Structure 1
Amino acid sequence: MANFAIILSEAAGEVHADPTAFGMDATVWVSIAMLAFLGILVWKGVPKMIGASLDKKIAEISKQLNEAEQLRLDAESLKAEYEAKLAAAAREADEMRARAEAEAETLVAKAKADATALIGRRKQMAEDRIAAAEATALTEVRMATAKAATAAAAALIADKHDASSDKALIDQAIASVAKG
């Protein structure tokens, strides 16, 4: 019931004084306690520890940033190196293709020249065989002709010459030998 009376008296507009200690109210005491707490923190070196911790974190982040920058530079250098290698490989492939095409053209030209030379040699061999066959045939015809002429001459001589005409020929041959 006493509490009820206090509540009613406050509701009726009665004003009570705030509690104080040593003439200071609660706000002053909270301010003093806060200053004491901050003084202890400063005295124990907490700001220095916080600063050192922040500096350490800053140094670590800076180190990571430097490493990241170095990695980026390395990646760019590798990229440039591989792009150069790719370009060199493309150039080499183009050169190889050009050499292969030139080699193929050379081989085709050589094959054509070889085929032409082979045709020429075979033609010459055929002409030589034909000429040899013609020469052989001509020789055979001459021999046959000479044989036929010799046989015909022998037959004519045998028919037209008798012993008396042979004697006259022999005498004539001896006379020409004796004169000469």
Structure 2
Amino acid sequence: MDSTAWAMVGLVLFLALLAYMKVPGFVARTLDDRAQRIRNELDEARKLREEAQQLLAEYQRKRKEAEQEAEAIVAAANREAENIVVEARQKTEEFVERRNAMAEQKIAQAERDAVHQVRTSAVDIAVAAAERILADKVDAKMSAELFRKSMGEVKTGLN
């Protein structure tokens, strides 16, 4: 027998020993267990991916809702600001109108007071001038007659 034959015998004995110790079954079981673990991990990864996609869809929906809500809030704030501006402008205009009206009333009152004062002054000056003229031209007799006549006019005017 040559060395090739002995190598063959050694190989057969080694394979027989492996078979006797049930190494191929153990290797097969180990490989099957590893394949099952990999399958389980793939299933778990698939489930996790589905959950992640569901969470992503939910968060995207919530983000869209939040954006819509934010847009609604901004729009409401803009409308409210516009209303406040319009109301403030209207109140300011009303205030200015009231102030103008009050100023016009004060001016009109001042004009009336000035006209009244001028008339009063004119009457006082006219009375003083009339008194001076009458004092120069009228004597005691004429004065008594004018006084009676004036009293008669006053009585007639009062009745």
Q: Report the 3-state secondary structure (helix = DSSP H, G, I; strand = E; otherwise coil) of the residue aligned with 1:128.
A: helix
Shift of 1:117: 0.9
In structure 2, the CA distance between the partners of 1:156 and 1:83, relative to structure 1 (3 Å rule), is same
Runs of 4+ in 1 over 4 A off after TM superposition: 39-42
2:19 paired residue among 41, 46, 69: 46
Equivalents in 2 of 1:114, 1:149: separation in Å?
51
Q: CA deviation digits over 1:90-146, x for unaligned, max 9?
A: 101001101111111111111111111111111111111111111111101110110
Deviates more, 1:81-90 or 1:55-64: 81-90
CA RMSD of superposed structures (Å) = 2.4
1:128 matched to 2:102? The reply is yes
Give the aligned partner of residue 158 of structure 1: 132
Give the aligned partner of residue 111 of structure 2: 137
Structure 1 runs not aligned, ≥5 long: 1-36, 170-180
Give the aligned partner of residue 151 of structure 2: none
Q: Report the 3-state secondary structure (helix = DSSP H, G, I; strand = E; otherwise coil) of the residue aligned with 2:131.
A: helix
Give the aligned partner of residue 3 of structure 1: none
Q: Which has the higher helix share?
A: 2
Equivalents in 1 of 2:47, 2:133: separation in Å?
125
Q: CA deviation digits over 1:144-170, x for unaligned, max 9?
A: 11001110011112222457349xx7x
Equivalents in 2 of 1:122, 1:148: separation in Å?
38
TM-score (norm 2): 0.73
Equivalents in 2 of 1:41, 1:134: separation in Å?
130
Give the aligned partner of residue 175 of structure 1: none
Higher-Rg member (1/2): 1
Equivalents in 1 of 2:42, 2:14: separation in Å?
41
